[in-house]
Structure 1
Amino acid sequence: MGANAVVVDTQGAATDSAQARTTAVGQHLRRWPPSPRVILAAALVLVAAQAVARASLVLDGHLYWDDLILAGRSSAMPLLSPEFLLYDHDGHFMPAAFLTAGVATMLAPLQWSAAAATLIALQLLAALAVLRVLWLLLGPRPVVPALLALYLFTPLTLPSLAWWAAGLNSLPMQAALAWVAGDALLLASTGRRRYALTGTVVTAVALAFFEKSVLVPFVAFAVVALVARVDGTSSPVRGAWRSGRPLWLACGAVLAVWAALYLTVVDSQLRVPAPAEAAMFVHHGTSLGVVPALVGGPWGWERWPPGPPWAIPPTGLVVAAWIVVALAAVVTLRCKQRTGWVWAAMVAYVAASEVAMMVGRSGPDTVYEIAQSLRYTSDSAVVLVLGVALLIRAPSRLDTGRTVGRHVARPPVAAAIVALIVTSSLWSTVTFARSWDANPGAGYLDIARDSLARHRDVPLLDQPVSLMTLLPVAAPWNMASRVFGPLTDRPAFASATPELRALDESGRLVSATVEPTRWVVQGQEPGCGTRIGQAGGEVPLSGPLMIWEWTVALNYHASADGTVSVALGAGSPVDVPVRAGLHQAFVRIYGTGSVLSVRPVGPGLELCIGSGTVGVVVPGTEAIP
């Protein structure tokens, strides 16, 4: 009896344990799906995680290429002047970007911290705007944080985030794409005119940052129409027009005013590439760019300094990414109703971005790898995530034989897929950061800024900055006087100096010499050379010079302190300060001919000019102590 009782007790305990586990599982299932508050908290945690991850990339960055042009222009012109704001920047019309860069430069001249702060703030704004529109499209569903994660960590947006000038274009547009689409949805559902007002204002602001933002209201219209389509509304296009008419009309007026201003300012040199060229651009931009990024690629990046990095996905990843996209298309088209137009819209937007890149950037000197830089398709990340949200929103078909879609849609499977893509994306972020940091010119600005601050006593002749910092195609904004113009703690840039100094390729201030092309001929007057009286005179050179900007080593003996005017041929004269006694001056002068014209400015000044050199400045190896 005792043994039987023990067996009965054990079986009863096992039964109680099984019932407890069943009850616990049932309670867990009753807690799924989680509450809207939990879903929103999860989404905000992802936004915070992205902010930390991207901030670590941004804060470790540096001013690059166009960034220096934006900063240099802001110090050379009044901040609110039309010449500063209404400027054709390589085909871009971006007054708000100029203004933002100008304010940041004024607050922290040539300091990356100010640029990084604007990028981080704009990225956060875009992330919250995408969260908002996903919430409007899908409601408080657990899939919202998953879709948000795909946008937050996609490598598509990396290159435009790390580069300040590119980020000032792309990030406001990304935020506007999501925000105006959300306003359009709210206007259609509530009829409240305030959403038409805010949507119009956001569109106008985005246009002031980037001309490609002309697509913003069209994307918003497409989102409203596609929502109506997947929801089964008859005449979705007509319904979208009617429900959002105040917004569409207001945006149309903004676009008309903007277009008139754009065509006045920008002289676009558009070029239609040949079919073979277009096919190569599409291949590089799609198969080697956008498609691998959809699964977290490219994993690897290449660059030819001083150019920016571009994606180099392995062949296996490219094939796998295309398979994933094809499977996603087949599954959604077969298992979801009315999704064909959603796919067509996503493809059309990516195609439009690539066409804009081709007609605006293609040319005989353009390499196809520019399409792999991902800068020209970064805003597609927002549109593609919205497209996936619409695919999820679409109702399932009633054919119970098609189980693939339901299997993939199970929370554990969907979470695993998203986790794999995010992990892949984070690895691409790490490899991008390595490539971005591998820039030989990255330390030039820091070294030059410190060197200039320690040697403010002698004026500097202007010179181009390092080729790894800005190439001559950026002239005149590649000149040191333009690049370092925003700094207050530096020597003056002048056309004449008593001591020849120059910045070397690393940014150090070093002593320099004039590499002779011609020589100043020693005059015939004993003990003087060539005498220059009050009326001025000519100093012969050893031969003619072609028209160019030359540097003259002028050896002189002056009767008093004063100023002389020096010109080469018919070129513009340069005022050169001179000191009483025997001294040397280095003069930067533009012109052509075989004689220098020298004329004292003011009474009581005479000079004796000795032999010297005329040529180009060559930095030495000895740093200024």
Structure 2
Amino acid sequence: MTALRAGERLVGLGTNKTLTCGVVALALIVRVWVAASGNFYWDDLILAGRAGTYSAFSPDLLLYDHDGHFMPGAFLLAKIVTAISPYNWTLPVITLVVLQALAAVAVLRLLRLILGNRPIVLAPLVFYLFSPLTLPSYSWWAAGLNSLPLQIGLAWVAGDALLLCRTGLRRHRVSGIAAFVVALLFFEKSVLIPFVAFAVVAVVYSVDGESAPLRATWRAARQLWIWSACVGAVWLATYLIVVDQPFTLASRSMAVGLLEHGISRGLLPTLIGGPWAWQRWQPSPPWADPSVLLIVLGWLGLVAAVVGSVRRKRRIVPILVAMAAYVLASEAAMVLTRSGPDTSYELGQTLRYVADSAVIIAIGAALIVRAPDRRARPHRLHRSAVVALVIAFLVSSLWSTRTFVDSWRDNPTTDYLATARASLAEHTDVPMLDMPVPTDVLLPFVYPNNLASRVFSPLPDRPQFATSTTELQSMDNKGHVVDADVSPTRAITQGPNPQCGYRVEGTTVARLPLDGPLADWEWTAQINYAASKDGELVVGLTDGKDVRVPVRQGLHQVYVRVIGSGDALRAYPITPGLSVCIAAGPVGGVLPDLPR
């Protein structure tokens, strides 16, 4: 294994131990601050809501097609976190920080396998640990549960592949396959992990002078590649069964616009610690908003790095091509899966779709450093110049991190959840009709995950959400539970019996005409009734789902959520001997009373 420098091995940190540990510790402290500054947001509520609705190993939880994502591991972890303490942000912070720490260890391990115990390891390590490129996906819990396991898998499996080629030990094959499987459970993009690992080993062979690097890579870790292919095939079959996510053929202008925003205004400024500034439109997440100067500097920095590397190093063209291919593939995946007539170009500037490129760039930089020099005695950069560049990047990145946190803190969901949690706990005695949460918390297109019954399902202290209630209450946009009324769109007309209105009894289905037709929607009917005894009615629209409604003996009101369309309500008793008189009443939407 001379081509892989078999004499190199992972040894103690030596004289670099304190500095390396300090850099990692500082990065984790910063990431703790970033995570603690956030709160539950958007998809986090979907994860928690489904965790509160379904059992831990329910297919409805683990095999859910989450907007094209197949992520059973993320849903299972969300189930555990939610079961321990629902909507307690401390636990997601812990999961994010732990995953980030594991990613830091995996990347450090791989960089030292490539470069040995050299101080230059700190340069790509600092880039990975502090790059704003990973901030948006890290700070958002749901996104972090996708991105961080992928980052761990990319670095760990590549490291195991190198160790397997160097030592031949079976444990590295087992460890690599296990890391691949775990990453696949959290994010479908993890299917790329074996390809990245193969490329890393092949490039190491190539820069070390191996004449047939691809063949050597296959032979040295054949079992790892075969088992990875088997795992990937099983996963792919499952993914195609579970997920219905057709690719979108974007228009040329849309594709060009997304790529330009994603690369020039998104990725490139992060290479020098940008973007320094962020913008957002509620309820969207922040996106990078670099100045023109920073965009130009990003391009100049990239060109200088590529030209300088090519002039100084041999056998690095495959490295540059592989890095560019990975980034462009990530951007292309964004265009194919997220573009549409309502897509904004700023989507590319959110950086979530290329966050894992931080690992690829760090690996690529290390491989370039490992590559042989073109000259026998090359002119080397002075250590102080390298240190100055690293410090400048660190300062720039920390400033971008601070401005990101300022933008990320502007989250209406934080106050809404706190208010709703307290208010729901004070109104546990009467069932509530279901309703969507405000649009700045979850938009309607995620229905039914935007319903209050789903979002607040993990909370132990809350009213039951039902299809009927004796007291009409609703939640306002701040999260307060307030009294409500039926805002009439239509009305049940006066019945033919002056003393009874519409009599509902026996086995006959009574028809309760409305004063006009209703479109297909969710409506609330105020049923004013007098019942001969306690029992149950079935109520529904002409074309719609039937609802079982409890009634009490005597004169009462009940509010019923009916779904469907038609020009009349249908009603019949299911309790033997029950007779009910129903009077006129409104049918429409629910209008909450605003708190004074």
Q: Smaller-chain TM-score range?
A: over 0.9
3-state SS in 2 of match to 1:569 = strand
Assess if the C-alpha contact under 8 Å between 1:442 and 1:469 holds in 2: no
Q: Residue 618 of structure 1 aligns with which residue?
A: 591
The equivalent position to 2:420 in structure 1, one of 448, 454, 463, is: 448
Alignment of 1:290-439 (within 5 A): 290-398=267-375, 403=379, 406=380, 409-439=381-411
The structure whose Rg is larger is 1
Assess if the C-alpha contact under 8 Å between 2:523 and 2:561 holds in 1: yes
The reply to whether residue 174 of structure 1 matches residue 138 of structure 2 is no
3-state SS in 2 of match to 1:478 = coil
Aligned-pair CA distance for 1:577: 1.8
3-state SS in 2 of match to 1:413 = helix
The equivalent position to 1:550 in structure 2, one of 523, 527, 532, is: 523
Greater mean deviation of Cα atoms: 537-546 or 238-247: 537-546
3-state SS in 1 of match to 2:594 = strand
Aligned-pair CA distance for 1:287: 0.8
Q: Counterparts of 1:42 and 1:458 in 2: how far apart (Å)?
A: 60
Greater mean deviation of Cα atoms: 416-425 or 518-527: 518-527
The equivalent position to 1:92 in structure 2, one of 52, 69, 73, is: 69
**Deviations, residues 479-529 of structure 1 (Å, cap 9, x unaligned):** 111111111210000011011100111111111111101112223434443
Aligned-pair CA distance for 1:611: 2.1
Alignment of 1:489-568 (within 5 A): 489-535=461-507, 537-568=510-541
Assess if the C-alpha contact under 8 Å between 2:250 and 2:336 holds in 1: yes
Q: Residue 73 of structure 1 aligns with which residue?
A: 50
Q: CA 1:277–1:542 in 2, change beyond 3 Å: closer, same or farther?
A: closer
The reply to whether residue 578 of structure 1 matches residue 551 of structure 2 is yes
Q: Counterparts of 2:317 and 2:571 in 1: how far apart (Å)?
A: 79
Q: Counterparts of 2:80 and 2:360 in 1: how far apart (Å)?
A: 31
Q: Residue 220 of structure 1 aligns with which residue?
A: 197
**Deviations, residues 181-219 of structure 1 (Å, cap 9, x unaligned):** 111111111121221111111111111111111111111
Q: Residue 10 of structure 1 aligns with which residue?
A: none
**Deviations, residues 292-330 of structure 1 (Å, cap 9, x unaligned):** 001111111111111111111111011111111111112
Aligned-pair CA distance for 1:376: 0.4
Assess if the C-alpha contact under 8 Å between 1:193 and 1:246 holds in 2: no
Greater mean deviation of Cα atoms: 537-546 or 581-590: 537-546
- Which amino acid letter does the alignment assign opposite residue 282 of structure 2? P
The reply to whether residue 107 of structure 1 matches residue 107 of structure 2 is no
Q: Residue 11 of structure 1 aligns with which residue?
A: none
3-state SS in 2 of match to 1:145 = helix
The equivalent position to 1:254 in structure 2, one of 226, 231, 243, is: 231
Assess if the C-alpha contact under 8 Å between 1:511 and 1:622 holds in 2: no
Greater mean deviation of Cα atoms: 442-451 or 390-399: 390-399
3-state SS in 2 of match to 1:513 = strand
**Deviations, residues 356-394 of structure 1 (Å, cap 9, x unaligned):** 111111222212211111000000000100111111112
3-state SS in 1 of match to 2:430 = coil
Aligned identity (percent) is 51
3-state SS in 1 of match to 2:47 = helix
Assess if the C-alpha contact under 8 Å between 2:41 and 2:411 holds in 1: no
**Deviations, residues 22-57 of structure 1 (Å, cap 9, x unaligned):** xxxxxxxxxxxxx94231232122211111111111
Alignment of 1:272-291 (within 5 A): 272-291=249-268
3-state SS in 2 of match to 1:170 = helix
Q: Counterparts of 1:277 and 1:460 in 2: how far apart (Å)?
A: 44
Assess if the C-alpha contact under 8 Å between 1:40 and 1:140 holds in 2: no
Q: Residue 137 of structure 1 aligns with which residue?
A: 114
- Which amino acid letter does the alignment assign opposite residue 615 of structure 1? G
The equivalent position to 1:45 in structure 2, one of 22, 45, 49, is: 22
3-state SS in 2 of match to 1:222 = helix
Alignment of 1:113-128 (within 5 A): 113-128=90-105
- Which amino acid letter does the alignment assign opposite residue 423 of structure 2? S
Q: CA 1:565–1:133 in 2, change beyond 3 Å: closer, same or farther?
A: same
Assess if the C-alpha contact under 8 Å between 2:533 and 2:578 holds in 1: yes
Aligned-pair CA distance for 1:87: 2.3
Q: Scaled by the length of structure 1, what TM-score is found?
A: 0.90
Structure 1 unaligned runs (5+)?
1-34
Aligned-pair CA distance for 1:547: 2.5
**Deviations, residues 216-256 of structure 1 (Å, cap 9, x unaligned):** 11111111111122222222222222212121111111111
**Deviations, residues 523-574 of structure 1 (Å, cap 9, x unaligned):** 3434443333445533332222223221011112223322222222143321
Assess if the C-alpha contact under 8 Å between 1:306 and 1:441 holds in 2: no
Q: Counterparts of 1:183 and 1:199 in 2: how far apart (Å)?
A: 6
Q: Counterparts of 1:493 and 1:410 in 2: how far apart (Å)?
A: 68
Q: Counterparts of 2:543 and 2:128 in 1: how far apart (Å)?
A: 61
- Which amino acid letter does the alignment assign opposite residue 611 of structure 1? A
3-state SS in 2 of match to 1:547 = strand
Structure 2 unaligned runs (5+)?
1-11
3-state SS in 1 of match to 2:68 = coil
Aligned-pair CA distance for 1:399: 6.2
Q: Counterparts of 2:564 and 2:375 in 1: how far apart (Å)?
A: 83
Alignment RMSD: 1.7
Assess if the C-alpha contact under 8 Å between 2:517 and 2:565 holds in 1: yes
Q: Residue 183 of structure 2 aligns with which residue?
A: 206
The reply to whether residue 478 of structure 1 matches residue 450 of structure 2 is yes
**Deviations, residues 409-444 of structure 1 (Å, cap 9, x unaligned):** 322111111111011111111111111111333321
Q: Residue 592 of structure 1 aligns with which residue?
A: 565
Q: Counterparts of 1:248 and 1:136 in 2: how far apart (Å)?
A: 20
Assess if the C-alpha contact under 8 Å between 1:447 and 1:508 holds in 2: yes
Q: Counterparts of 1:522 and 1:268 in 2: how far apart (Å)?
A: 50
Q: Counterparts of 1:203 and 1:602 in 2: how far apart (Å)?
A: 57
